[in-house]
Amino acid sequence: MAKVGSLGNYAAELKLLLTTLLLLCGVATLLQFIPSRFTISASDLRFCISRVSQEPPPPPPSSSLSVRALSSIMHEQVLSNGTIKRAFNPYGSAAYNFITMGTYRGGLNTFAIIGLASKPLHVYGNPTYECEWVPRVKNSTFPSKPISAIGYKMLPDWGYGHVYTVVIVNCTFNDTTINEDNTGGKLVLHASTSGAGDTKFNVTDRMEVLEEAPGAVNASLFVSKPKYEYFYCGSCLFGNLNPQRVREWIAYHVRFFGPSSHFVIHDAGGVHEQVLEVLKPWMELGYVTLQDIRDQERFDGYYHNQFMVVNDCLHRYKFMAKWMFFFDVDEYIYVPPKSTIKSVLDSLSEYSQFTIEQMPMSRNICLSDDYGKTNRKWGFEKLVYRDSITGIRRDRKYAVQPRSLFATGVHMSQNLAGKTTHNTEGRIKYFHYHGTIAERNESCKIHVNSTQFTYNKIPYVLDTTLRDIAGIIKKFEIKMIGSRLQKTRQ
Is the model's pLDDT at 34 over the cut of 60? Answer: no
pLDDT tens per residue, range 203-221 = 999 999 999 999 999 999 9
What DSSP state is assigned to residue 239?
S
Tell me the residue type at 350. Answer: E
CA atoms within 13 A on the CB side of 380: 31
| DSSP conformation class of 361 | B
The pLDDT of residue 69 is 59
∠ CA(365), CA(367), CA(368), 5° rounding? 115
The greatest distance separating any two alpha carbons of the chain, rounded to the nearest whole angstrom, comes to: 126
pLDDT in tens, 306-355: 999 999 999 999 999 999 999 999 999 999 999 999 999 999 999 999 99
Q: Given a cut of 90, is residue 259 above it in pLDDT? A: yes
Q: Which of these, 316, 355, 319, lies nearest to 168 by C-alpha position?
A: 316
Indicate if the pLDDT at residue 105 is higher than 60. yes
Mean pLDDT within 129-143: 83
The residue length of the chain stands at 490
Query: Is residue 420 helix, strand or coil?
Result: strand
> Model confidence at 4, in pLDDT bands (50, 70, 90)?
very low
Candidates 226, 274, 272; CA nearest to 247 is 274
Helices within 197-350 (DSSP H only): 243-257, 273-284, 306-316, 341-347
pLDDT attached to residue 38: 41
Lowest mean pLDDT, pick from 36-50, 230-244, 340-354? 36-50
Short-list 237, 113, 239, CA closest to 166: 113
Strand partners of residue 290: 265
On the 0-12 / 13-18 / 19+ scale of CB atoms within 10 A, 80 is exposed
Q: Provide the pairing of β-strand 77-78 with 84-85.
A: antiparallel
pLDDT of residue 36: 43
Alpha helices in 156-226 (DSSP H): none
> Is there a contact between 265 and 289 (Cβ–Cβ < 8 Å)?
yes
Confidence bin at 56 (pLDDT 50/70/90): low
Residue 319: Cβ within 10 Å count: 20
Give the per-residue pLDDT at 74: 86
Asked whether the beta carbons of 323 and 401 are under 8 A apart, the reply is yes
DSSP 429-446: EEEE-TTGGG--S----E
Q: List Cα–Cα distances, 26 to 22, 32, 34, 197, 240, in angstroms.
A: 6, 10, 13, 58, 59
Choose among 397, 402, 387, 413: nearest CA to 356: 397
DSSP string, 83-94: -EE------S-S
Q: How confident is the model at residue 5 (pLDDT cuts 50, 70, 90)?
A: very low
Q: Which three-class secondary structure state does DSSP give residue 344?
A: helix
Instruction: Specify the amino acid at residue 41.
Output: S
Secondary structure (DSSP) of 112-144:
EEEEEEEHHHHHHS--EEEEEEEEPPS-SSSPP
Over pLDDT 90: what percentage of the chain? 78
Q: How far apart are CA 156 and CA 414, in angstroms?
A: 8
pLDDT for 168 beyond 70? yes
Q: Look over the chain and give the mean of its residue pLDDT values, rounded to a whole number.
A: 89
pTM for the structure as a whole: 0.83
Half-sphere exposure of 124 (CA within 13 A, CB side): 9
**Integer angstrom CA distances of residue 172 from 107, 152, 247:** 9, 8, 42
pLDDT at 490: 84
Instruction: For residue 171, give the nearest of 133, 213, 216, 115 by alpha carbon.
Output: 133
Name which of 73-87, 215-229, 441-455, 467-481 the model is least confident about. 73-87
Contact 407, 156 (CB under 8 A): yes
- Give dist(CA 189, CA 197) in Å, integer: 20
- Coil, strand or helix at 470: helix
Predicted confidence at residue 413, as pLDDT, reads 96
